[in-house]
Amino acid sequence: MRLKLEISPDLAALMQAEIAAGEKAVTSAMREAGASLKVAWRGQITGAGLGKRLGNSIRLATYPKGGESLNAAALVWSNAPVIVGAHDTGPLIRSRNGFWLAIPTPAAGKSTRGGRITPGEWERRTGLRLRFIYRRRGPSLLVAEGRLNSKGRAVASRAKTGRGLTTVPIFLLVPQVKLRKRLDLARDAERAIDGVPGRIVAGWERL
């Protein structure tokens, strides 16, 4: 006599199908969480008035690059970590050499390389010399003898008689600056992480 045992349905096939469903649900959840965090961080940055360019420094990568996995992951980061990190933590900034921090006034204009102009670059660009003025109360100053053009920038005076010549504050000098905290990236990251289990369950149930 022969006995034949058959298990229906096929348990191995069911387990394999369930694993495949899990891989799909986890991968989809991580991609959605990463995408939502990228959008949230970009929104925070632009909403804080830091500009779309800095907002676009936020990037997203998901793993695996192709296919699905129970170990799927998402990585969100910034291509400008120093700038974004500074606005996220609100650090105390001091001069590297222990002297003054030179903060340009509107009359200084901007650097040709982008960002804030330095006293050395300003002197080379304008041909004017900066003069130090110490103030006991409030920031000390770097000033120049010149005139303001139509854009409010300090330039050399063209008049030989000195007409229109004035003392223009070009830089404010301070020993340190406390950068205001304008971002809270950890808040959005925690929300994204907390939402992952729910995304996985919801995605699994749809399969």
Please give the Cα distance from 30 to 199 (Å, whole number): 8
State the average pLDDT for the chain.
Answer: 87
Structure confidence at residue 169 (pLDDT): 92
pLDDT at 191 > cutoff 90: yes
**Distance of alpha carbon 41 from alpha carbon 85, whole angstroms:** 12
| Percent above pLDDT 70 for the chain | 90
Q: Of 69, 45, 65, nearest to 55 (Cα)?
A: 45
Domain shared by 61 and 133, yes or no = no
Number of domains in the chain: 2
Same domain, 148 and 187: no
List CB contacts of 53: < 8 A, sequence separation 6 or more: none
Residues 34 and 135 in one domain: no
Q: Is 157 exposed, middle or buried (0-12, 13-18, 19+ CB in 10 A)?
A: middle
Strand ranges for the chain from DSSP E:
58-63, 73-78, 92-94, 101-104, 131-133, 140-148, 154-155, 166-174, 176-178
Q: Is the peptide bond before 64 cis (omega within 30 degrees of 0)?
A: yes
Q: How confident is the model over 125-139, as pLDDT tens digits? A: 888 999 999 988 888
- Domain shared by 131 and 185, yes or no: no
Whether 116 and 140 share a structural domain: yes
Confidence of residue 154 (pLDDT cuts 50, 70, 90): confident
Question: Which residues lie across from 148 on neighbouring strands?
Answer: 154
Q: Is residue 6 part of a domain?
A: no
Structure confidence at residue 27 as a pLDDT band (50, 70, 90): very high
Question: Residue 68 above 70 pLDDT?
Answer: yes
For residue 110, the one-letter residue type is K
166 or 10: whose pLDDT is higher? 166
Flag whether 121 is in a domain: yes
Peptide bond into 197 cis (omega under 30): no
Residue 20: give the domain boundaries: 13-90+181-205
**Alpha-carbon gap, residue 128 to 44, rounded angstroms:** 40
Residues 121 and 84 in one domain: no
Judging by beta carbons within 10 Å of its beta carbon (0-12, 13-18, 19+), is residue 146 exposed, middle or buried?
Answer: buried
What integer is the mean pLDDT of 13-36?
A: 89
Phi/psi of residue 117, each to 5°?
A: -85, 150
Looking at the structure, tell me whether residues 119 and 161 fall in a common domain: yes
Confirm if 107 and 154 have CB atoms less than 8 A apart: yes
